[in-house]
Amino acid sequence: MSYKRPAFRHPDAAINEIGFHQKDYEGALSTLCAGCGHDSISAAIIQACFELSIPPHRIAKISGIGCSSKTPTYFLANSHGFNSVHGRMPSVATGAVMANKDLTYIGVSGDGDTASIGMGQFAHVVRRNLNMVYIVMNNGCYGLTKGQDSATADVGSSGKAGVPTMFSSIDLAGLALELGAGFVARSFSGDKNQLIPLIKAGISHDGFALIDVLSPCVTFNNTKSSTKSYTYVRDHMESTSIADFVPVKKEITASVQPGESKTIEMHDGSKISLSSIAEGWDPKDRLSAINAIHKASLEGEVLTGLLYIDAAQPPVHKLLNTVDAPLNSLQERDLVPSQEALEEINMGFR
């Protein structure tokens, strides 16, 4: 078995604005099962970070436990990383975001890691609007522990074990909307054209961004009777719109697609341009997003694409009114007031 990827890349491989090759954003060769959807998501993260020209050392990737949570080893080898405890990625991310608000945070989790053991943690990180992209690699099962049903498995769906799921499923995107998230999207590991712009937009969003990515587990949940298989998702995918991410410096040149189109300006000046917008859906209207999700699910379809965005929602550091400098850079002299300042404060109490 190959444990190393060859060093050679395509001789015409481009470099990005800061002089890096895509290779500089890669990680170790994956040890996941061949054909696992998670590997495609890793590839999408690599490409998104490369194209956004983020210096690799300014990114931190944080994960919990699961096949999905293993993936940070397989991308961004030159970035910071923390592979934490099952379901505890949000706490570790919270600590990191509090300490250094200047890094780009990519949280990676699974449906088990998030919707079961980590559910409480997930809810709070959404509420607090932590500045991070939270990617759930959602395969409807606990892949790492041999494919037990997870809380996102649909009623009646069955994986390799052949026993249909009895309990109703949790829709993480719907839940995030309910909890007040400012950026909610859903995608499919097998559709990079959709996934990559969403990851870029999620990274650029100032605040919490959830991307729930359907990601088939080829080994335990890619059966004919599963609603998280490659074939099922492909056949039942519907999208809110075609999203294109437009970086700050670029003009929007993409040819206008038929149907209605919209452009959403992000906090940093970049834009999301949406075309072929579905009827009755407005990206800035939380209720319309909730409606669209429910409607699709009643029709047995899987709604993907950007579901909701509020680019102006204040992120955690704004809510807490912290200083501009990252907290981990504050020195004793920044934190301990001078004798005079102390005098002044004390005077105030006299």
Partner 1 sequence: MKPTDLKDPEYFHKVVDCQYACPAHTPVPEYIRMIALERYDDAYMINWESNVFPGVLGRTCDRPCEPACRRGRVEEEPVAICRLKRVAADMKGNVRDRIPQGPFPANGKKVALIGGGPASLTVARDLAPLGYEIHLFDEQKAGGGFMRSQIPAFRLPEQVLDEEVNYILDMGVHKHFNTYVSSMKEILAQDYDAVFVGTGAPRGKDLPKLPGRWDAKERVHIGIDWLASVAFEHTEKIGKKVIVVGGGNTAMDCCRTARRLGGTDVKVVVRSPFEEMKASPWEISDAQHEDIPILSCHNPKAFVTENGVLKGMMFQKVEAVYDDNGKRRLVPTDEPEVFIEADDVLLAIGQDNAFPWIEKDLGIEFGEWDMPVVDKVTFQSTLPKVFFGGDAAFGPENVITAVAHGHQAAVSIELFCQQSDVHQRPAPITNLYSQKMGIHEWSYDNGVVSDLRYQVPHANKEITLTNRKLEVELGFDMPTGYKEAMRCLNCDVQTVFQENRCIECDACVDVCPTSCITFTTNGEEDDLRQRLTMPANNPDQDLYVSDVLPTARVMVKDEDVCLHCGLCAERCPTSAWDMQKFLYNVSKASHVCPTEAV
Give phi and psi for 212, each to the nearest 5: -95, 110
Stretch that binds ligand SF4, among 35-43, 96-104, 125-133, 156-164 (CB under 6 A): 35-43
Q: Is residue 139 a contact point for ligand SF4 (CB under 6 A)? A: yes
Q: Is residue 218 a contact point for ligand SF4 (CB under 6 A)? A: yes
| Paired sense of beta strands 302-309 and 183-188, if any | antiparallel
Q: Is residue 11 a contact point for partner 1 (CB under 8 A)? A: yes
The tokens for 120 are 């409480």
Q: Is residue 227 a contact point for ligand SF4 (CB under 6 A)? A: no
Q: Is residue 216 a contact point for ligand TPP (CB under 6 A)? A: no
Q: Are 73 and 29 in contact (CB under 8 A)?
A: no
How far apart CA 33 and CA 31 sit, in angstroms, is 7
Tell the smallest beta-carbon distance from residue 39 to ligand SF4 (Å). Answer: 8
The tokens for 115 are 């919707």
Least Cα distance to 309 among 267, 280, 278, 276 occurs for 267
Q: Under 8 Å CB-to-CB from 184, ≥6 apart: which residues?
A: 173, 176, 177, 209, 210, 212, 289, 306, 307, 308, 309
Would you give the binding string for ligand TPP spanning residues 50-79, x where CB under 6 A is met?
A: ---------------xxxx-----------
Tell the smallest beta-carbon distance from residue 65 to partner 1 (Å). Answer: 23
Q: How many CB atoms lie within 10 A of CB 178?
A: 13
**Considering beta carbons, is residue 121 or 129 the nearer one to Mg ion?**
121
* Of residues 94-133, those binding Mg ion (CB under 5 A): 110-112
Q: Do you know the residue count of the chain?
A: 350
**Considering beta carbons, is residue 116 or 288 the nearer one to ligand TPP?**
116
Query: Which of 16, 23, 33, 86 is the binder for ligand SF4 (CB under 6 A)?
Result: 33
Q: Is residue 311 a contact point for ligand TPP (CB under 6 A)? A: no
What is the 8-class DSSP label of residue 15? B
**Total binding residues toward partner 1, as defined by CB under 8 A:** 32
Interface ranges with ligand SF4 (CB under 6 A): 32-33, 35-36, 38, 67, 139, 143-144, 217-220
